[in-house]
Every structure is written in C-alpha cells, then in structure tokens.
Amino acid sequence: MPALNSIASRLVAMPELIRGILWMVFSGFLFVTVGVLIKLMESGVPAIQGAFIRYVFGMIIVLPLIPRIRLKQVKRHVYGLYVSRALVHGIAVMLWFFAMATIPLAEVTAIAYSTPIYTTIGAVLVFREHIRIRRVMAVVAGFVGTLIILRPGFLEISMGSLAQVGAAMGFAASFLIAKKLVSIENPYNILFMLTAGCGLALLPGALAVWVTPSLADLVLLFFVACLATLGHYAINKALIAAPLTATQPFIFMQMIWAIGFGYLLFGEIPDVWVIAGGLVILASITYLAHRENASARKQKGKDQCKAVVVDEG
C-alpha cells in the first residue's frame, strides 16, 4: 500500500500534460495485453461466445454501480438508442475477438487506429456536422493507411483483417450513439446499459455455438473484462488531464507493445507495411484531433462572447 500511495502522490504532483500522456500510454499497454490474453485461449471458444463471457464478467465488475443507476428516469425513445448501441458494439467486440485470434497483434492494432476516421464520416452523415477540405484530406489519408495495411490486389485479404475493419466501423457507430446519449443520460446508466445490452445481444449467438470453456480460459476472460474496463478508465483519465491533440500521438505506443508481445510470445514477425499504414492512419487521426480541439476552442470563445452580451443586457 505505501508503494501505491507513493505512485499516486507522484502522479498527482506531475504536470497535467505529462499525466495525461502517461495515462494514454498505460491504456495502450492494457488493451494490447487484452489481445495477448485472447490469443492465449486454448479451448477453441468461438469469438461470439468469448465476447459474451467477457460481458458476463463485465456485469460483475459494474455491480457496485447499481445504486447510482436510474433506469426509471430513462425515456422510452432513449431505449432505442441503448438497443442500437448494444447491437453494434456487441457485434464489433465479437469481430474484434475473431481478429485477435486470427491475425497478428500489430495488424489488429494498426487497423483499429482507423476508428476515428469512421467516426468523422458518421458525424457528417448522422449529425450533419460541417467538414472542411482539410478534414476530408485527413479522412482520405486514413483510408490510404488502411489500404497500405490490407494491400488489396497484392495480397489476399484475410477474414481476420476484414473482421477488424468491421470492428473499427462498429466501434465508431457505438461512439456516435454514445455522443448522443451523454448529452441526455446518466453516465452510470450508459455504462450499465452497454454492458448488459451487449451481453443480451450476444447471448443467442453464443448459445448456438457454445463450447465448454476450460477453467484457464474463464480466468483469462475474467482478466480480459477487468483490463478492458481499466483501459477505458485510463483513456478517460488521459482525456481529462490533457487535450486529445497532446495524447493522440502516444496511441502509437500500442503498436510498440503489440510488436513486442507478438514477437516474443507468438513469434509474429512485424510487417513493415502494417507499421507504415499504422503511421499514416495515426498522422491522419492526430490531425483530426487537432482540428476538433481547435473547433472546440473557437466554439467556446463564441459561447463566452454570447454570455458577456447576455450579462450586459
């Protein structure tokens, strides 16, 4: 305990920017570790069943939050958003599990970087957000990075790679729905409904292909649930402590962890095209984060000006 208290006190004493970067690096390490645990599973548990069990354990983790959940206050039309998010997020997690089990960690990580690209496109299509030419170019660059990784026409695109592309799109859709929910809903409701909803959405498919998991695989899936939850917490702490433009480039540390673990534990040789494509995607999402931050500051300035006018009136 004294050691943990010492680490906590040092974190608090650090400049916010450094603290945010460290949280982001830590989150990347956690999510790559989750991928390692999935690859270590040995009993042939299907992807949809593994994802389902992950959310069963996730429900255990969120049980302490139940006193803060206010489902009676949820309006009827909001349940449609919850159901939609549970479906797309559950499918995305299932595809991610499949990709983790079938393609190298570095490739999974690099393709996952494209999620903000699909989020930007979705924001334009769903929320009618205005997008300028520079952001369009960043989105195009992100797709170029994905093509560098997949190399269609030069290599046969594997099912694992396609699954990870689908997972990235699914997570982007989930984020867009969450963006709507956070403006009208209790954050504890959102967390609980995602965990419970994904479990229910995956249940029929999991039962259809059920394979009795070994005790070792159940232990691994429990730690997958714990580390994934902690990883999301670390990302939130990073975003609170520092601007996204400052922390976004350090997401690439995930690639370092993925290459290291993949080589040492599974004998996966890093592919130069995967690394190159990941760098291109990272550059595009870093620029998108920069533009988002600039737009937010500009909007905040306008709101402050409006507030001054109201106060003077």
Rounded Cα–Cα distance for residues 68 and 252 (Å) = 35
Rounded Cα–Cα distance for residues 49 and 205 (Å) = 7
Q: Report the pLDDT averaged over residues 103-114.
A: 88
pLDDT at 208 (0 to 100): 95
pLDDT in tens, 128-187: 777 778 778 888 888 888 888 888 766 778 899 999 999 999 999 998 898 888 888 888
Q: Nearest 5°: CA angle at 104, between 98 and 108?
A: 65
> Does residue 306 register a pLDDT over 50?
no
pLDDT at 304 (0 to 100): 45
By the 8 A CB rule, do 189 and 71 touch?
A: yes
Q: Report the pLDDT averaged over residues 55-76.
A: 84
> Does residue 303 register a pLDDT over 80?
no
- Per the structure block, which two tokens stand in for 163? 């699954």
Rounded Cα–Cα distance for residues 59 and 144 (Å) = 38
pLDDT at 95 (0 to 100): 95
pLDDT in tens, 233-272: 888 788 778 776 677 677 778 888 888 899 899 998 878 8
In what helix (H) or strand (E) does residue 41 lie, and over which residues does it extend? none
pLDDT at 221 (0 to 100): 94
**DSSP letter string, 117-162:** HHHHHHHHHHH-----HHHHHHHHHHHHHHHHHH-BTTBPPPHHHH
Model confidence at 216, in pLDDT bands (50, 70, 90)? Answer: very high
> Does residue 4 register a pLDDT over 70?
no
pLDDT at 311 (0 to 100): 39
- pTM for this model (two decimals): 0.80
Rounded Cα–Cα distance for residues 91 and 292 (Å) = 28
- Per the structure block, which two tokens stand in for 278? 């990941």
Q: Where are the domains of the chain?
A: 14-44+223-270, 45-222+271-312
Of the ranges 62-76, 157-171, 188-202, which one carries the lowest mean pLDDT score? Answer: 62-76
Contact partners, residue 138, CB within 8 Å, separation at least 6: 120, 284, 285, 287, 288, 291
Q: Report the pLDDT averaged over residues 202-230.
A: 93
Most confidently modeled of 213-222, 226-235, 262-271, 304-313? 213-222
Q: Which residue matches tokens 């999402």? A: 285
Q: Count CB neighbours of 234 within 10 A.
A: 21
Q: For the chain, report the end-to-end CA distance as a whole number of angstroms.
A: 56
Number of alpha carbons in the 13 Å side-chain half-sphere of residue 58: 26
Q: Report the pLDDT averaged over residues 91-118.
A: 90
pLDDT at 309 (0 to 100): 34
Model confidence at 222, in pLDDT bands (50, 70, 90)? Answer: very high
Extended beta strands in the chain, E state: none
186: exposed, middle or buried (Cβ count in 10 Å: 0-12, 13-18, 19+): middle
Of the ranges 78-87, 91-100, 129-138, which one carries the lowest mean pLDDT score? Answer: 129-138
pLDDT in tens, 267-283: 988 788 888 888 888 88
